[in-house]
Amino acid sequence: MEKGNLAKGAGILLIEWIPLSRTFILTSVIKRFQSQSLDVRTWLTLGFALYELKSYRAALEKFDRALTLDPDNLEALMHRGYAYFQLKDYGSAIADFQAVLAAAPKHPLAWCGQGTVQLKQGLYPSAVESFDRSLFYAPTASKTWYNRGNALLQLEDYKAAYKSFTRAAELNAKDHRTWYNRAIALAAMDSYAEALDSLDQSLSLVPNSYVAWNYRGFLLNRLGRYDDALMCFEQSLSHHPINPNAWYGLATVFAHQGNVDATVQNLRQAIKLNPNLYRLMAQQDASFDRVRRQPTLRRLLEPLTATRLG
């Protein structure tokens, strides 16, 4: 796998979890406030609680109610922008963030919000600029450093991305996504030992992250530590059985070891789940060169059109 593919193929972790106790508290807040007089602050509080529960459309409606009573309320505008963002309505989201910035040009959360939209839209240099503006006003915002790192990854500026993720980890060492994406940047710079350390930090926080186990396996495979790589892919499958990347990873390890039967068996599992992708990947992956001429593998890797013609 090429350096760029190591970075881009790893995937970026974006998942956040809300503990059950916190969900119960937020639900209680919603019930309590719904029985009170509905002024701007009440609508905002309801919107905040619903947003935290990931009920983004319901939160959006509450922020709309607040803005009906106070059209210039910057809190409502900004948080409505984030709700729009979660609903993938990026045009409305950036309009709200820009409205906040027109009234309050030094608002770090609005700059960060604008950057997250630009990141999703593929406007990576603009996203970095927005995150930089946000960090100028709020330099200890770990999520902004994290998002900035993601934009820099997309620009393949791995050294700068590594620095952003490192700063994010210094500010919040308990975010497994930061450690994972930091490993991506390090691996892209061929700093595999440090990348593995960063992945270990990520897995210490979320031991059942099958994505992190997969990536750790690919790095160990690249280093020739085949037994350790096998263990990682097996761990990944134990946490997520419908997992073509893990099957593919196992196939690459067995191919390096010259085990044709195990290579074909595991690669066939990956191809069953996504025939076009994993057949094409294996056709181009140097990991299979040692066993590529074996008849069983050649048959498995034949293009579908050739198979039909034959």
pLDDT tens-digit readout, 126-157? 999 999 999 999 999 999 999 999 999 999 99
Nearest to 130 by CA among 159, 154, 109: 109
Distance of alpha carbon 151 from alpha carbon 154, whole angstroms = 5
Indicate the burial class of 94 (C-beta count within 10 angstroms; 0-12, 13-18, 19 or more): buried
pLDDT tens-digit readout, 209-243? 999 999 999 999 999 999 999 999 999 999 999 99
Which pLDDT value is given to residue 29? 57
Distance of alpha carbon 230 from alpha carbon 207, whole angstroms = 17
Nearest to 194 by CA among 234, 236, 233, 223: 223
Percent of the chain clearing pLDDT 70 (strictly above): 85
Which are the contacts of 200, defined by CB distance < 8 A and separation ≥ 6? Answer: 216
SS3 content of the chain, % helix, strand, coil (to 5): 75, 0, 25
Query: 3-state SS string over 21-51?
Result: HHHHHHHHHHHHHHCCCCCHHHHHHHHHHHH
Contact 116, 85 (CB under 8 A): yes
What is the average pLDDT score of the chain?
89
Distance of alpha carbon 107 from alpha carbon 74, whole angstroms = 10
Res. 302 pLDDT band, cuts 50 70 90:
confident
Q: Residue 9 has what DSSP assignment?
A: T
